[in-house]
Amino acid sequence: MATAHTRTLSRLMIAPSVVMLLAWMAIPLAMTIYFSFQRYNLLNPSRRRFAGWFNYEFFVTDPAFFAALTNTLVLVGGVLVITIVGGILFALLLDQPIFGQGIVRILFISPFFIMPTVSALIWKNMMMNPVFGIFANIAKSLGLQPIDWFASVPLLSIIIIVAWQWLPFATLILLTALQSLDSEQRDAAEMDGAKPVALFFYITLPHMSRAITVVVLIETIFLLSIFAEILVTTNGGPGVASTNLTFLIYARALLQFDVGGAAAGGIIAVILANIVAIFLIRMIGKNLEA
Amino acid sequence: MGSIRLESVRKVFGDAEVIPGVDLKINDGEFIVFVGPSGCGKSTLLRLIAGLEDLTGGKVLIDDKDVTGNAPAKRRLAMVFQSYALYPHMSVFNNIAFPLKMAEMEKTAIDKKVRDAADTLNLTDYLHRKPGQLSGGQRQRVAIGRAIVREPVAFLFDEPLSNLDAALRVNMRHEISQLHHQLNTTMIYVTHDQVEAMTLADRIVVLNEGRVEQFGSPLQLYQKPSNRFVAGFIGSPMMNFIEGPTAAEHDAHTIGVRPEHIIVSKKKGTWSGVVTIAEHLGADTFLRVECGAIGTITARASGEFTVGYGDTVFLTPDSKKTYRFDKNGRTIGHRPQQADTTGNQKTP
């Protein structure tokens, strides 16, 4: 469709935005790499000098690093499992014709619109508070010892909060996938003698595989950088029990004022995110083809 | 094994009564075609037989056993869908094997049956492909294969050829016809295409607004349509219907005459008119002739008959093959009118 002339013109036209995007991405990355090789602490900025690999070594050998790495993966994995399994179940439920379907769906989507800090605060003060939280009240009414969520199971608490936020997203995507299933395929499977369970595993689930892939990829991108929920609730503690990589870098940069070390941590996080991405694309990326 | 009986089957969707009550008796091994205009309830009737819809009233009997409450799989019927409804993520082999797998058949037995079916349908080379990599005709054959392996008592086809191009449609029509002679199993076939109906069927059910208008062999429907609807629906091009004084001359509300039963002449005839469309198909020539008060008449002439737009022609209907209908559209006498000038042929 394009002649040589229009092609040149179109390249010229998109050049500014491409250059802009490139600069937007490349300059901060270059600066982070630069700082990661500097000994640069804001408490003593005058002693800034080249540090070689020291910042990387220091960050990686910090015992908090591996705790943070595991926490990050557990957080991402846990939320993914809860949202995918729960999302499929809720999608199946919401696909049934029920009275007031539209309102139920809107209500269901609403957690996704609530800001992370707000929802974390609500969970912290109204749901999981060991004295006057709803969970504590339920436990007390059953004669059980209330759980001090953020002290005894901090990471699980954060997983629950984040999963609550992302469940609607997964449900919404999976529901649309469910609705696009050809009804004749369902009829055919029924004629072929498939019982509801077999129908789900042989027909419905494979049909949803592409949507599941999309949910996994998108959620992973956002879940690797969970921050607000941790800051508002546990502050990474107790100790480093709920510190993920993002929070560790924040702590290094803005609590210890070690700009060089934080930059090194940032670069490590970028590399880790890419490794995760490569694995994900390898494992499930083929679902997106054709 | 494979007789199907419907006893006053009714189906209501909300306020709409789609099928007000149908009685049918289909014999074992027959090829039955449900034909009718779109929205006449023919697909619904098929789905009722299959068990994919619940009956509002009446009974479905297969081999004299009441299966009205049975799940589709328990009725031992197989269905081929309009969209083929193949499982896109499974290979051809797994598609065909699916009903056997659901019946928890042994692996080696499944393998053998699938290969046999693939052999019959020329699919052996494609067993490892996915449906997305097949052509329309091949997909159709996979859908038929999936139906065959279950060894059903009857096959149900829901407009299976409507997604294929014209040439392939004729091919698949022949294959389905051959399959019926090979398997000798009852088949029920839904279509809106009367050519498919006429060529495939042992007997045709003509449906209109959920009612059975006529049930009989293709030639019966053609030669002895029971009413104006059947007369108009069967036969191509459509039968000419003439009302008014011309019909009154025959003591009828409407008379009908097929295009192929009109003698066309350039010199003399009963009716005269001006050609508005002349379609030269080679073997035949179809003319649309504007005949004044009588209306527009379609007539068939031989391929050599050369007339063009604006020419005047004379038409003579074959009086032996003129049908008479009363006010309600029912055929008077329910048989072709005899050459009879007394006009005393109204007895039913």
What confidence tier does A289 reach under pLDDT thresholds 50, 70, 90?
low
Task: Say yes or no to pLDDT of A164 above 90.
Answer: yes
CB-CB neighbors (< 8 A) of B133 in chain A: none
Task: Say yes or no to pLDDT of B346 above 60.
Answer: no
The domain defined by B4-228 folds into Rossmann fold (3.40.50)
CB-CB neighbors (< 8 A) of B72 in chain A: 187, 190-191
The domain defined by A63-288 folds into MetI-like fold (1.10.3720)
Q: Phi, psi at residue A240, to the nearest 5°?
A: -120, 20
Q: Do B87 and A185 touch (CB under 8 A)?
A: yes
pLDDT of residue B267: 86
CA distance B341 to chain A (A): 57
Does any CB of chain A come closer than 8 Å to the CB of residue B276? no
Interface of chain A against chain B, CB under 8 Å?
A: 182, 184-185, 187-195, 198, 202-203, 206-207, 209, 290
CA distance B103 to chain A (A): 7
Does any CB of chain A come closer than 8 Å to the CB of residue B83? yes
State mean pLDDT over A183-211.
Answer: 89
pLDDT of residue A221: 85
Cα distance between residue B257 and residue B242, in whole Å: 8
State mean pLDDT over B100-115.
Answer: 90
CB-CB neighbors (< 8 A) of A198 in chain B: 102
- DSSP string for residues in B86-127: --TTS-HHHHHHHHHHHTT--HHHHHHHHHHHHHHTT-GGGT
State mean pLDDT over B35-48.
Answer: 89
Task: Say yes or no to pLDDT of B333 above 80.
Answer: no
CB-CB neighbors (< 8 A) of B188 in chain A: none
Cβ burial, residue B341 (10 Å; 0-12/13-18/19+): exposed
pLDDT of residue A1: 55
CA distance A186 to chain B (A): 8
Alpha helices in chain A (DSSP H): 4-36, 54-61, 63-94, 101-109, 116-122, 134-141, 149-152, 154-179, 183-191, 196-199, 205-223, 228-233, 245-250, 259-284
Angle at B14 between CA B13 and CA B16, to 5 degrees: 65
Question: Closest by alpha carbon to A159, among A67, A269, A77, A70?
Answer: A77
Query: Is the backbone peptide bond immediately before A97 cis, with ω within 30 degrees of 0?
Result: no
Q: Looking up tokens 């629906």, which residue turns up?
A: B233
Cβ burial, residue B51 (10 Å; 0-12/13-18/19+): buried
State mean pLDDT over A156-178.
Answer: 92
What confidence tier does A2 reach under pLDDT thresholds 50, 70, 90?
low
pLDDT of residue B308: 83
Q: Which amino acid, one-letter code, is at A29?
A: L
Task: Say yes or no to pLDDT of B137 above 60.
Answer: yes
Largest CA distance in chain A: 79
Query: What chain B residue is nearest to A195 in terms of C-alpha separation?
Result: B102
pLDDT of residue A5: 82
B56, B95 Cβ separation under 8 angstroms: no
Q: For the domain bounded by B238-334, which CATH number is listed?
A: 2.40.50.140
Helix/strand/coil for B17: strand
pLDDT of residue A64: 86
B107-120 vs B136-148: helix axis angle to the nearest 10? 130
pLDDT of residue B294: 85
Query: What chain B residue is nearest to A207 in terms of C-alpha separation?
Result: B89
**Most B CBs within 10 Å: which of A191, A203, A204, as the mutation test of the B interface?**
A191
Name the region of B62 (left: φ>0; alpha: ψ -120 to 50; beta: rest): beta
Query: What chain B residue is nearest to A208 in terms of C-alpha separation?
Result: B89
* pTM across the whole model: 0.77
CB-CB neighbors (< 8 A) of A182 in chain B: 83, 85
Question: Closest by alpha carbon to B131, among A175, A173, A206, A213?
Answer: A206
Does any CB of chain A come closer than 8 Å to the CB of residue B286? no
Q: Do A193 and B87 touch (CB under 8 A)?
A: no
CB-CB neighbors (< 8 A) of A209 in chain B: 89
B231, B253 Cβ separation under 8 angstroms: no
Alpha helices in chain B (DSSP H): 42-50, 92-102, 107-120, 136-148, 166-183, 194-200, 218-223, 228-233, 245-249
Q: How many CB atoms lie within 10 A of CB B132?
A: 10
CA distance A188 to chain B (A): 6
State mean pLDDT over A265-283.
Answer: 86
Render pLDDT for A114-152 as a digit per residue (tens, 0 to 9): 898 999 999 988 888 888 888 888 988 888 888 888 888
Cα distance between residue B224 and residue B325, in whole Å: 12
A273, A257 Cβ separation under 8 angstroms: no
Q: How many CB atoms lie within 10 A of CB A215?
A: 24
Task: Say yes or no to pLDDT of A195 above 90.
Answer: no
Q: Which amino acid, one-letter code, is at B134?
A: L
Q: Give kind and range of the element (H or E) at residue B158.
A: strand B154-158
pLDDT of residue B33: 93
Render pLDDT for A236-261 as a digit per residue (tens, 0 to 9): 878 888 888 889 889 888 888 888 88
pLDDT of residue B172: 87
Nearest to A184 among B83, B89, B132 (CB): B83
pLDDT of residue B336: 42
pLDDT of residue B334: 62
State mean pLDDT over B174-186.
Answer: 90
- For chain B, the domains span 4-228, 238-334
Q: How many CB atoms lie within 10 A of CB B249?
A: 10
Task: Give the residue with greater pLDDT, B5 vs A44.
Answer: B5
Q: Phi, psi at residue B343, to the nearest 5°?
A: 65, 30
Nearest to B73 among A182, A185, A193 (CB): A193
Query: What chain B residue is nearest to A197 in terms of C-alpha separation?
Result: B102
Question: What mean pLDDT, rounded, does chain B reach?
Answer: 87
Q: Which amino acid, one-letter code, is at A71?
A: N
Nearest to A198 among B85, B102, B132 (CB): B102
